Amino acid sequence: MVKSELKSIEEIVDMLGGYKKVLNVGCAGCASVCLAGGQREVKQLNTKLQFHFKSNDISTTVDEYTVERQCEGQFLENLKGRVEKYDAVLSMACGAGVQFVAEHFPEIPIFPALNTLFIGVNKEIGHYEERCQACSDCVLGLTGGICPVSMCAKSLFNGPCGGPQKGGKCEVSMETDCAWVAIFERLKKQGRLANIHKIYETRSWKSQGQGKLTLKEYQ
């Protein structure tokens, strides 16, 4: 899932400067799962914002509403007839959600309450790790299900850099495992070490442009 974290209250307050009626919209999707932008987090942020505005004698009110997912148009239908009552909207979704809300309501300023970090997994509650950079050319089938682009500190695809340390650690940080040592060990367990000796064509990473996907059955 996409992982995000809350911006500082100072930055959020600065963005909302001058707006009197604000709607804080939460997202019950990825942002909720990583405890950054679900209904509970919306309430917590609103409490902090209202305290700040009251303490500084600022006549700004902040209401709340949470949709199932801000990245799907069908769920944004619930916002129609609601956001028009406000001067600005604060979105507690990932960057994609913020942009989609802004696209649906172009006449109203939409501000991000979160910083979008990475695509990752839930190791445990409150502990997330990046596992994918959405490079558009997945090589996990070759590397034992371990992504060298996101797991290697140098994002090296063609093998280790020559700096692995004792215990399979990375020279960049002794707290970081060397992705290529992990790949070697994984392929060894699977009896696929021959993958290490294969030479593959240069990959065409496509993450620099805007990504688009339309399934064939919907073309």
- In this structure, the dihedral spanned by the alpha carbons of residues 182, 185, 189 and 192, taken in order and rounded to 10 degrees, is 90
Beta bridge partners of 115: 5
pLDDT in tens, 69-86: 999 999 999 999 999 999
Q: Check whether residue 14 and residue 66 sit in a common domain.
A: yes
Q: Check whether residue 141 and residue 49 sit in a common domain.
A: no
Q: Check whether residue 54 and residue 156 sit in a common domain.
A: no
pTM equals: 0.81
CATH assignment of the domain containing 11: 3.40.50.2300
Q: Check whether residue 159 and residue 60 sit in a common domain.
A: no
Q: Check whether residue 150 and residue 103 sit in a common domain.
A: no
Provide the domain limits for residue 152. Answer: 133-197
pLDDT in tens, 4-52: 999 999 999 999 999 999 999 999 999 999 999 999 999 999 999 999 9
Q: Check whether residue 14 and residue 50 sit in a common domain.
A: yes
What is the CA 192 to chain-centroid distance, rounded? 33
- Whether residue 183 lies inside any domain: the answer is yes
The last residue of one of the domains, among 95, 118, 141, is: 118
